[in-house]
A and B are shown apart, each in its own frame.
Chain A
Amino acid sequence: MKTTDDLPFATSGTGYAAPSAEAESRLRGLLERGLPLTPRPWRTLAEQAGMAEEQVMACVRRWQADGMIKRLGLVVKHRRLGLQANAMVVWDVPDERVAEAGRRLARETAVTLCYRRPRRLPDWPYNLFCMIHGAHRDRVLAELAAIAERLGLGDIEHRVLFSTHAYRQCGGRYVREAAA
């Protein structure tokens, strides 16, 4: 692995050689664990991944532009802020209505996630999932009732699955350990 001192392009403005796929994979693994909280976090990551600081920033910008990175910033643990009521609401929506219902639910500010998933009959008849966070169970239920009314989903069979305990809450680990 090269050190930063070996890299000829560490300070120039343009024309960087593309980092190797291995280096990019290492960077992905490092980024999944979060930025080092140092004045120059990209340089620290660059040293660890065997890249130049500018290459790291270029990679991150490319991943932001192509959608690989959805957002970059502070990843909050909602429970630790007291947002204890975490409701997964599951709906059994007729197939012809599910996309429209999903799009409309997703526009609600209280809804933080909204996905279509397969039914697994007979055990699991629900095909639309959304998440609602709040400080209190009552507030979440009131919000859900208001949303269902507003979107005309009152007739749709649904269940509210509040979480009662978090055994783990953290970011994904997609990169193989050997590469990270």
Chain B
Amino acid sequence: MHCQAPTIQAPNGQVQALDALDRRLIDSYQRGLPVCTRPFHTIAERLGSSEDEVIARLERLQALGVLSRVGPVFDHARAGASLLAAVAVPEAERDAFAELINAAPGVNHNYAREHDFNLWFVMTAPDEPELEARLDGLEARLGVPILRLPMLEGYHIDLSFPIPWAELERA
């Protein structure tokens, strides 16, 4: 797996570590990364920086865990099968259940939430039968029923989000 659970939960995250160029990169390029031979060169020209500097910034933002990656966000519905799922487990055993869920193939989000259904995760798979098989397998390992909540209609499927820098600075 190339994906690690985030570990740092500092109250104001990494905001203090980000300077104006970092923030402009984040504000300007959550979408619209140029599809040309040297995209970071093009970005650097637009931001008045250098290709090396832009690459170094992106590497650092990834190392800080501020970025999970630079790349495409695929449309779940068209890229394969996916499903929001939840289980209700005893709070005292939540970490152990979460570990089992993370170990299952295709899990890409896994959050504890304040509800009787206290673990929420997204299961992905190349197609619907594989998705069902993964969920059935995980359900057997967990020993509790999985609430299966496929998307029926998406009203807003863009994950790009304006970062409220000033609000975070005050945090």
Known: A34-B71, A37-B58. A73 touches B30 (CB 8 A): yes
Q: Are B80 and A82 in contact (CB under 8 A)?
A: no
| Cβ < 8 Å to B, chain A residues 23-78 | 28, 31-35, 37-43, 53, 57, 60-61, 63-64, 67-78
Q: Is A170 an interface residue (CB 8 A)?
A: yes
Taking CB atoms, residues of chain B closer than 8 Å to A175 are: 80, 126
List the B side residues contacting A116 at CB < 8 Å.
151-155
From known contacts A37-B58, A76-B163, infer whether A172 and B80 are also in contact, taking CB-CB under 8 Å: yes
Whether B25 sits at the interface, judged by CB under 8 Å, is: yes
Residues of A within 8 A of B120 (CB): 88, 161, 163
**Contact A166-B30, Cβ < 8 Å, known A114-B154, A161-B115:** no
Give 29 CB contacts A-B under 8 Å. A32-B72, A37-B40, A37-B58, A60-B35, A70-B75, A70-B157, A71-B31, A71-B72, A72-B33, A72-B72, A73-B29, A74-B33, A75-B69, A75-B71, A76-B30, A80-B13, A80-B14, A80-B66, A106-B156, A113-B157, A115-B151, A117-B150, A120-B149, A124-B117, A159-B115, A161-B113, A167-B112, A171-B3, A175-B126
Write out the residue numbers on chain A whose beta carbons fall within 8 Å of the beta carbon of B10.
82
Chain A positions within 8 Å of B21 at CB level: none
Interface pairs A-B: 5 shortest CB-CB: A34-B69, A174-B80, A82-B13, A106-B156, A170-B3
Contact between A76 and B75 (Cβ–Cβ < 8 Å)? no
The reply to whether A72 and B71 contact each other, CB–CB distance below 8 Å, is: yes
Closest to B99 in A: A167
Instruction: State in angstroms the CA–CA spacing of A105 and B106 once bound together.
Output: 29
For the complex, count residues of A whose C-beta is within 8 A of B.
82
Which of B148, B152, B155, B157 neighbours the largest number of chain A CB atoms within 10 Å of its CB? B155
Cβ-neighbour of B25 out of A40, A63, A74, A82 (below 8 A): A74
